[in-house]
Amino acid sequence: MVGVIFAQRHSIARQFFPGLRTGRVRVAHSKDLRLARLFGWYPSLLWLCALLCVALYFSFLHDAVERIAYLYAVVPGGLDQQPWYKCGHLEPGKQTTVIPDAVLRDFSSPTEYKIEIVCWVEQTGATESSRQYKYQVRLPSEGSVQAILSGAPSSSIPYEFPMALFFSWFVCMRVSGVRIDWAQGLSSRRAGTF
């Protein structure tokens, strides 16, 4: 990313400092000056976008942790007693279901975490496809979150694509917004100013 920006430095320079120097003043066309004023805000825009990407990344990360807890939680009994099955077969209009005794385990952690799952159905239209199954997981401690983060199988991580997308966007925008010290050093070294 830094290399691409450095390779484009001449075009960027024309955007930042348009026009020609004549004597002690610089003259530029009004359109170029207008563009330069707008381009001056570009680094700030990158920083704002980077912050937005971080916020979205953590939002998806929290949703992924909650979803893993929901899918991996078990309760004593058969298949029809499991939280994901019970919540997935709720009837519309039925009261919110609370599963207070679900247990989270099998994350390479000797500790078992008791979690509470609340689920309900939202019907936005008359058709069955408009039925939305919602759930909320109450995790007991930060330890349970860390167990999920470190022990969840990588192939089962939900929202992997948006998380990867926002994280890589953040890195790109962050790199674009920071000082490009190595590029400056490289140029100075080539010019023999060291």
Partner 1 sequence: MTGLRDYLQGELGLSDADLIIRAPIASQKEKYDLAHAPGLYGIVEYSPDAPNLIPNLLGPFCANHERDIFPLAVDGASGKVTAWKHIKKEANKIEETICPIQVQLTVGELDRTFRESAEVVTARGYAKSLHPPLPDDTKA
Return residues touching partner 1 (CB under 8 A): 5-6, 9, 12-14, 16-31, 33, 36, 42-43, 46, 176-181, 183-184, 187
Residue closer to partner 1 (CB basis): 5 or 171:
5
CB-based contacts of 111, cutoff 8 Å, min separation 6:
143, 147
From CA 154, how far away is CA 107, in angstroms rounded? 12
Token pair of 104, please?
């989270």
Q: Nearest distance from residue 167's CB to partner 1, in Å?
A: 20
Q: How far is the CB of 40 from partner 1 (least distance, A)?
A: 8
For residue 16, give the amino acid letter: F
Residue with tokens 């247990």: 103
C-alpha to C-alpha distances, 24 to 17, 21, 100, nearest whole angstrom: 15, 7, 77
> Smaller CB distance to partner 1: residue 14 or 105?
14
**Closest approach of partner 1 to the CB of residue 51, in Å:** 15
Measured on CA atoms in the order 150, 153, 158, 163, is the torsion positive or negative? positive
Identify which of residues 25 and 126 has a Cβ nearer to partner 1 in the complex: 25
CB of 19 to partner 1, least distance (A): 5
Task: Report in angstroms how near the CB of residue 189 gets to partner 1 at its nearest.
Answer: 13
Distance of CA 152 to the CA centre of its chain: 18
Nearest one of 164, 184, 159, 156 to 5, comparing CA atoms: 184
Contact between 165 and 119 under an 8 Å Cβ cutoff? The reply is no
Nearer to partner 1, 24 or 94 (CB): 24
Q: Which is nearer to partner 1, 21 or 94 (CB)?
A: 21
Give the nearer residue to partner 1 in terms of CB position, either 44 or 123. 44
Q: How far is the CB of 53 from partner 1 (least distance, A)?
A: 16
State the Cα angle at 124 between 121 and 130, rounded to 5°: 80
Please tell me whether residue 115 adopts helix, strand or coil conformation: strand
